[in-house]
Structures are given as C-alpha cells and as structure tokens.
Amino acid sequence: MQSTLLKRLLWPFVEVRRGERLKTGLMALYFFLVIALVYILKPVRNALFLDELGAANLRYVYMAEGFFLFGIVWTYVRLSRRMSKRLLQSSVLIFFIACLLLFWGFFKLHVPLLSALFYIWVSSFSITMTTQFWTLANDLYHPGEAKRLFGLIISTGSLGGITGGFLAGQTGHWFNTEALLLIAAGVLMLCLIMLQGLWRTIPATMSAGEEPGKKEDASTEPKSGRKLLLSSSYLLWLAGLVMMAKIGSTVVDNHFSQAVELFIHGKEARTAFFGHFSASLNTVSFLMQFLLTGYALRQWGLGPSLLLLPAGLTACALGSLIHPALGMAVAFKITDGGFSYSIQQAAKEVLYLPLSSAARHRVKPIIDMLGFRAAKSLGGLYIFAATTFFGLPTGKLEWLVLGLMPLWLLGVWRIRTGYIRMLKKQVMGGSDAAYVPAATSDALSFIYREKDIERLKPYLEDRSVQARKLAAMACLILLRHGGQYELARSEMERLTGAQTEEKPEGAARDIRDIENQILTARGEGAALDPELAKDWTQRLEKILNDAGRPFDERKRVVELLELAGGKEAIRLLPGALAGCGDHGLRLVMAAALKRLHRIHPEQMLERAVLKAEILREAGLGIKLAGAVLLHEQKRSAGTTADPLNVFLRALKDESLERLFFMLEALYPQEIMDIVHARMAGRTAQDPARMRAVELLSQVLEPAIFKTLQPVLEDSVLVPEDAAALIRDLTSSTDAWFRLAGSVLQPEPPAIS
C-alpha cells in the first residue's frame, strides 16, 4: 500500500515504467560516475598546474585546448566510421584508463610540463565522456522515453558532482592528489563494466534498426560528420541553438563575475561567496532536473521547453537593467545554470533522437564538442567587439543577451518545425506495413457456424478488432449459459442489434424511400436537389438520434448520410456523436465523418464539439485500460485463450480506433493516418509506436495531448476503486460496456 502511494506521488516527476528500470538504473549510475569523475579530475588538474606553472600560464593552455580538442574530435569521428559503436565506446574507456595510469606514473617521476598536458587532457576527457554518454543515451531511448527519463538521469549527475567534489576535498586527509588518478581509473573500470551491460539492452530499443557491435558496410557508409552537418538545415539550426546557449552563458558568467567584483570585497569574502553560490546552484539544478525537467518535456512539449531558457534570460536581463544589484546578478546566473543543466540539456538531447544512430555518432561530437568550445570563444569575441568597437559599457552586458533573442527564438521555431519533419520521415520510413483491420460486415456469421468454445478460440487472435470482440463475447456468453447455444445466441443477437423483432414500419419505410431516391439520383448522375437533401437529412437525423431504434437501422442512416454527402451530413454527425451512448454506433459515425471530411475538406467542422468528443473518448479509453489492468491483476496468468481479457482489450482497441477517426477529421490526415497505422496492433514498448506518439505530441495542442497521453502511451495505472469502475461499466448506456462490467464482477470460468 505504501509503495503504491509513493509511486503515485512520484509518478508525475519520475515515471519509470516496467521494462525500463534496469537500463535507466544503469544509465543513472553511469552518469553519476561520469560527472563524479569530472569533479574529481578538475580539482586535481587545477592543483597540479598551479603548483608547477602558476596561474599566469593558464592563457597558454586555454589556447592549446581548442587545437587539442579539434584533434580529438577528428580522431573520434574517423574511428566511428571504421569501428562498431560498442567497440569504439569500450576502446575510449580503456584508452582513458591507460592514460590515467600513465599520468599517475609520470607524475611520480616529476616529468616537466606534464601538468600542462594533463590540464589539456582533462578538458578533452570531460567533454568526450559526457558526449559519449549522451550518444549512448540517444541509442537507448526513444523520444517519449527520453522526455520522461532524461531529467531523472541528469539529476544523478548533480549528485555525482557533489560526490566527486567531496572526494577531491578530502585530499590531504585520506590520500594525496596523485592518488585520485588511481581512484578515477578504478571508477572508469566500473563504467566499462556497466557499458557492457547497457549494450545488452540495446537490440530491443535501438533506433534505426542497427545492430550493436556490427561494423557498417563501406558501400552504405554515411557521409562524414562535416558533410552531414553542412547538408542539413536541421543540424545547422541544432548546432546554432547549442552555440547560442553557450554564448549567452558566457555573457551571463562575465556579467556575474563583474557583479561579484563590484559588490563583494576581499579575497576570503569572494571565496566564501563563490562556495555558497556553487552549493545553491547545484541544489537548484538538482531540483529542476529531478522535479521539473521530465514534467516540462511531457506536459508542455519540446517547443515550449526550449523557450524556457531564453525567456528566463530575457526576464533577468531586463530586471538587471532596471535594477542593477547583486541579487539580480545571482538570479541571472542561477537561471542560466539551472535551466542549462536541466530542461535545456534534456531538450537538446531529444532533438538528436530523430537522427539515425550512425548519423548521431558522426555529428554529435562535432556539435557538442567543437561547437560548444567554439561558442565559448565566440562569446568572448562577442563581448570584446561590443565593448571595444561599439562602446557598450562593461556594466551593461545584459544588452548582449537581449541581442541574441531574435535569432534564438527563430532557431527554436525552425528546430521544432524540423523536428516534426524529421519525426514524420522516420515514422513513415518504417519497414513494417500499415495495420489494416479486416472487414467484418458478416462478423456474426462465424458465431452461427461455430457453436462451441474450442472452435471459437482461433478468432480470439484475429487481426480485426470487431472479430476478436465478437468471438470473445460469444465465448463469455456460452460460458455464462453453460454451453446452451440457443440461449447464448439470443443474447448475442440482442447485444449486436441483430435480433429480429417487430419494428415500427414508419422509420424503416423512410429509410427505404430515402435510399431509393439517393441511389436513383446517383445512378442517373444528377446532382442532389439541395432542398430535397435537406429534407432527407432532417428525417434521417430524427431516426439517428432515437436511442430506441435498433442498431442496424441507425447504422444504415449513417451510411445513407455518407452516401448523400455534402455539408448537411458533416454538420449533423458531430452533434449526433455527442448525443450517442452506443459506442459501436459512435465508431460508425466517426469513421463516416472522417471519410466525408476527406472528400469535402472545405466544409467547416464543429471543432469544439469534436474536441469534446475526443476528450470523452480519452476518458473511455482510460476506463477500459483500467478494466484490463483490473482483470489482469486478478488473474496471475492471463493468456490469449482468456476470453474476458481478449474482450476487454478489443473494447480498448475499438476506443482507440474511434479516437483516431475523430482526430483524422480535425488534424492533418496524413500524419494522423501514419500515427494510427504505427500504433494499431503494437505494444506501448514498440519503437515504431513510441516514435508515432512523439510525432503526435508535436501536432496536437498540449492540453489535448496531455489528456490523451495515458491512452496513447498505455500508461494507465490500476484503478484505486475497482467497485466504482465496475459500477460505471454496468450502468453504461452501451450494451458492450454493460457486458464487460457484468463479467468483471464474478470470477469468469477459465477455459481448459
């Protein structure tokens, strides 16, 4: 009970689902160790360099860092074209372990200028390790997973930074400076072991269908990273966003340092201030990573999440210009650091996911390593040019941040548009054929032919939702009536609306007359008389909205409305949908509306009514998913031979069909068709379905997608009040829902 309560409390922030726990736990621990290593080695680097060469010589290693990093990136990209990804990443870790051991030995021998080389090496080590980690994360996670889990993973990096800094701070108490190199080598060994475990999880989740550990054929080898980058506007804008964020961060850092110099006096006071500020920044970053990152990406979407950093910097820049003070400078710096290391970092990594794994391995080092380093230099040049050539006072650097905003906002808009385009291309590029439900116009016929459960079993796995639903229903009713076929058949006919009973002749005659007139007009090729069509529509509408009419009559009315076509039918169907309590008939109406809107796209739909119906359908989907979970919780071994499980899942799948028919009437039909095809018949863990859901999240309004998300991602929790759910089903106006509720109450007999 307590674990369930804790899960519900943490679910909005830490939504780790079944099947994701192992890889997410390993990735979180891996990132913890990577960042801990960085915070162990940077103090060692600084201490060794200052002890041998002094701060006056730092400018020379700053210049050398860029050239050394260029060589590292060039080598890494070249190796990525010749080695499998698994071998490359493992080899890099082994190389770094060897380097640390060599540095430890040479420091013991007091080799001259070694601290300078180590300083440069640590800079490249830090950026290579983090880039390689995120390249692996991009292979392991699909967009929907990344939005939920990257915030959690990033937050463990903050804890790693705290741990690494603590270990480095114990130098002199527990061990000497050089001994930290051996500790770092040992931590890298742990990373190497975890990497092998992580690669074992990749075949089931890796994007682009690439096999891990398999060297690519030279004949199909992709372009070089540089050519890929220059030939893609999407990648250029991605690189631009990364660089603009770093340029902005460089300006903010300079502004912050000036504020500290102006308002805090004395070396000890400044040291204490920087220490307290660093602790505060790490705390804010951790809280944003753990609590806000996943929530923002899932609930607000990628575009709004990418706008949070520039929006925050704009607000702080304006505030600092209006009221320059140390507090504003602190807020400026915390806003930059907090968003940069949380939402901005996770959103940037999501932007890489539509790329193939091979392309990511080519361009990611160039953007994240070289581009990041170049942006830092460009930030310095930006400040230098503004203050030297344009006379900007050094105390007004906030204007430089504001000057970045037009291009930054344009970049966010362009990258989001490109992201949707790339996702659409990726989803359409799936090799698997689209799911097309089988025709079920005579679905009842097999029930009349097959009079025992054993012969009905094969239909429980039919591709058609309708066939599965009817077969499962037949099994359940036969079991309820102890195998007495005639009693079962009578109940089945009543449920399906096929029962032959005396029906008032007026409505049936109206339907026949209107059908004959429409078919006559169509056969003669004549246009339908508008006044006559309006009269037909009014008469048909009356029959359609009469809940007492048999299902087959009302279904035929929908077919006639579709046959007549025109704006009257499109006007009538949304309202009829809203007033209908028979969900089987709602499926017929939604499908007809979708087809009519495709033929007459110029006709205006009642969008508000349809959106309300979409939200209503999402609620039904959640209810049916809860019923499935409730049944599976009761039965420890639900199988395909369990008719109740099949029946409930068929109702849930039918609800998804209704949902997409309505979505296709309101939103771009090409995208909705693609997404529906990739979702139907697939589990929530299927990569094709995950990519389709991510594409849908970029098309729907955030409020609509948020409501649909539990249904689309199959993330509904077991209902807390099972009795209330069963009451809702048994009191439904839909006969199928009532049947589901009635068979959920008692334990249904199992099929031997």
For the stretch 440-453, pLDDT in tens is 334 444 444 555 56
CB 635 within 8 A of CB 743: no
Contact present, 368 and 352 (Cβ < 8 Å): no
Mean pLDDT of 116-130: 89
Q: Per-residue pLDDT tens for 148-169?
A: 888 889 888 888 888 887 777 7
Residue 100 clears pLDDT 90, i.e. is over it:
yes
Tally the residues of the chain: 752
| Comparison of pLDDT for 3 and 92, the residue scoring more | 92
Average pLDDT over residues 113-129: 89
Instruction: Say if residues 40 and 171 touch (Cβ distance below 8 Å).
Output: no
Band (pLDDT 50/70/90 cuts) for residue 261 is confident
- Would you state the pLDDT for residue 388? 87
Is the pLDDT reported for residue 411 higher than 60? yes
Alpha helix stretches (DSSP H) within 323-365: 326-340, 343-351, 357-365
Q: How many CB atoms lie within 10 A of CB 45?
A: 21
Range with the lowest mean pLDDT among 111-115, 315-319, 409-413?
111-115
Q: Quote the CA–CA distance of 293 and 274 in Å, as a whole number.
A: 26
pLDDT beyond 90 at 406: yes
Per-residue confidence band for 497, with pLDDT thresholds at 50, 70 and 90: low
Which residues are CB-neighbours of 278 under 8 A, at least 6 positions away?
none
For residues 174 and 145, the model is more confident at: 145
pLDDT for res 666: 87
CA distance 224 to 231: 11
Query: Whole-angstrom distance between the N-terminal and C-terminal Cα of the chain?
Result: 34
Collapsed DSSP state (helix, strand, coil) of residue 342: coil
The mean pLDDT value of the chain amounts to: 80
> 219, 339, 363: which is closest to 288 by C-alpha?
339
Report residue 531: phi and psi, to 5°: -65, -40
663-679 pLDDT, tens per residue?
Answer: 988 888 888 888 888 88
Q: What is the pTM for the complete model shown?
A: 0.73
* Residues sharing a CB contact under 8 Å with residue 13, sequence separation 6 or more, in sequence order: 151, 290, 291, 294, 295
- What mean pLDDT comes out for the span 106-132? 89
Q: Report residue 533 as tokens.
A: 């069509």
**CA–CA dist 515, 520 (Å, integer):** 8
pLDDT of 312 higher than 90: yes
Q: Tell me which residue of 623, 583, 584 sits closest to 744, measured CA to CA.
A: 623
Of 503, 495, 403, 384, nearest to 443 by C-alpha is 495
CA atoms within 13 A on the CB side of 350: 35
Which CA distances in Å does 134 have to 20, 269, 458, 541, 751? 17, 38, 46, 58, 49
Kindly report, residue by residue over 19-56, the tens digit of the pLDDT.
778 888 899 999 999 998 988 888 788 778 777 877 66
Q: Quick one: pLDDT band at residue 242, thresholds 50, 70, 90?
A: very high
pLDDT (tens digit per residue) in 547-575: 888 888 888 888 888 877 667 778 888 88
Structure tokens at 144: 């929907």
Position 528 scores a pLDDT of 62
Task: Name beta bridge partners: 171.
Answer: 175
Q: What is the pLDDT of residues 365-375, one digit of tens each?
A: 889 888 888 88
Give the separation between CA 226 and CA 245, rounded to whole angstroms. 21
Judge residue 415's burial from the number of C-beta atoms within 10 Å of its C-beta, 0-12 exposed, 13-18 middle, 19 or more buried: buried
d(CA 381, CA 390): 13
Q: Torsions phi, psi of 175, nearest 5? A: -160, 170
* Domains of the chain and any CATH numbers: 18-203 (1.20.1250), 230-430 (1.20.1250.20), 454-498+606-752 (no CATH), 507-602 (no CATH)
User: Helix/strand/coil (H, E, C) string of 571-639?
Assistant: HHHHHHHHHCCCHHHHHHHHHHHHHHHHHCCCCCCCHHHHHHHHHHHHHHHHHHHHHHHHHHHHCCCCC
Q: Stretch 599-621: mean pLDDT, rounded?
A: 87
What angle, 0 to 180 degrees and rounded to 10, lies between the N-to-C axes of helices 21-52 and 143-169?
40
Q: pLDDT at position 433, please? A: 39
Please give the helix or strand (H or E) that residue 671 lies within, else none: helix 669-679
| Cα gap 253→275, rounded to integer Å | 15
